[in-house]
Amino acid sequence: GAGVSQTPSNKVTEKGKYVELRCDPISGHTALYWYRQSLGQGPEFLIYFQGTGAADDSGLPNDRFFAVRPEGSVSTLKIQRTERGDSAVYLCASSPDIGQPQHFGDGTRLSIL
Amino acid sequence: KNEVEQSPQNLTAQEGEFITINCSYSVGISALHWLQQHPGGGIVSLFMLSSGKKKHGRLIATINIQEKHSSLHITASHPRDSAVYICAVRRGTDKLIFGTGTRLQVFP
């Protein structure tokens, strides 16, 4: 498909485990964004990339969270030593360039038991 | 106080009614987005605007920069319009700041 693809769509794991969430942006989109949405809330910004570099990571809640985009396309959000409070839907979006409308994936629903 | 406030939080309507959802923000912005989120999480971008008014089908979005206020209108509402509508503002580095959303239910 031509949209933003996120995998897995659902992830259930135990407290303390490590998780990786993947985002495949629309081909050719240089900007990629990660957001987190808790139940009943609007999404919250985590980090965004312009090309391979993290242009703004001010939304990452602590150093357990890290994201990479090594080739300027696919991005992986990594969470170490997961906590129950990390349970949320993690959304990825991409845009052709900064300042243009963002196209969202369907999200990964992460549940920490 | 949230930087982006939406009202109402919940809205029910009968099919055919005219609907208005409001968004107020307290920070300087470069653009404002209206987004639609269906159950299951998928988000669709409806509008991005920085001034004036935009129209797409039965949807109209307006923004008043001086008053820091935007409205989303739906004319001739339909049950398939039922969703959560989210206002988000874009600042400096391009990150979006989101409102908590308005849950709309349109009944036949």
Q: Is the pLDDT of residue B1 over 80?
A: no
pLDDT tier, B95 (very low <50, low <70, confident <90, very high otherwise): confident
Total Cβ atoms within 10 A of residue A72: 15
- Residue B93: per-residue pLDDT: 61
Q: What's the mean per-residue pLDDT of chain B?
A: 93
Give the dihedral sign, CA A63/A23/A100/B23.
Answer: negative
In whole angstroms, what is the distance from residue B27 CA to residue B4 CA?
8
Radius of gyration for the alpha carbons in chain B, expressed in angstroms and rounded:
13
pLDDT tier, B71 (very low <50, low <70, confident <90, very high otherwise): very high
Give the dihedral sign, CA B81/B39/A7/A110.
Answer: positive
Are A106 and B98 in contact (CB < 8 Å)?
no
Q: Is the pLDDT of residue B92 over 80?
A: no
φ, ψ for residue A11, nearest 5 deg: -140, 125
pLDDT digit string (tens) for A83-98?
999 999 999 999 998 8
Per-residue pLDDT of chain A (113 residues; tens, 9 = 90+): 579 999 999 999 999 999 999 999 999 999 999 999 998 888 999 999 999 998 899 999 999 999 999 999 999 999 999 999 999 999 999 999 888 888 999 999 999 99
Q: Is the pLDDT of residue B58 over 90?
A: yes
- Residue B63: per-residue pLDDT: 97
Are A99 and B98 in contact (CB < 8 Å)?
no
Q: Among residues 15-54 of chain A, which lie with CB inside 8 Å of chain B?
A: 31, 33, 35, 37, 40-45, 48
**Chain B residues touching A102 at Cβ < 8 A:** 33, 45, 96
Of B44, B94, B99, the CB nearest to A48: B94
- Residue B41: per-residue pLDDT: 66
Question: Residue B87: how many CA atoms within 13 Å on its side-chain side?
Answer: 29
Q: What is the mean pLDDT of residues B26-46?
A: 88
Of A31, A42, A55, the CB nearest to B98: A42
Q: Is the pLDDT of residue B56 over 80?
A: yes
Which tokens in the block code for residue A54?
A: 């993290």
* Nearest residue of chain B to residue A97 (CA atoms): B94
Which tokens in the block code for residue A43?
A: 């999404």
Q: Is the pLDDT of residue B40 over 80?
A: no
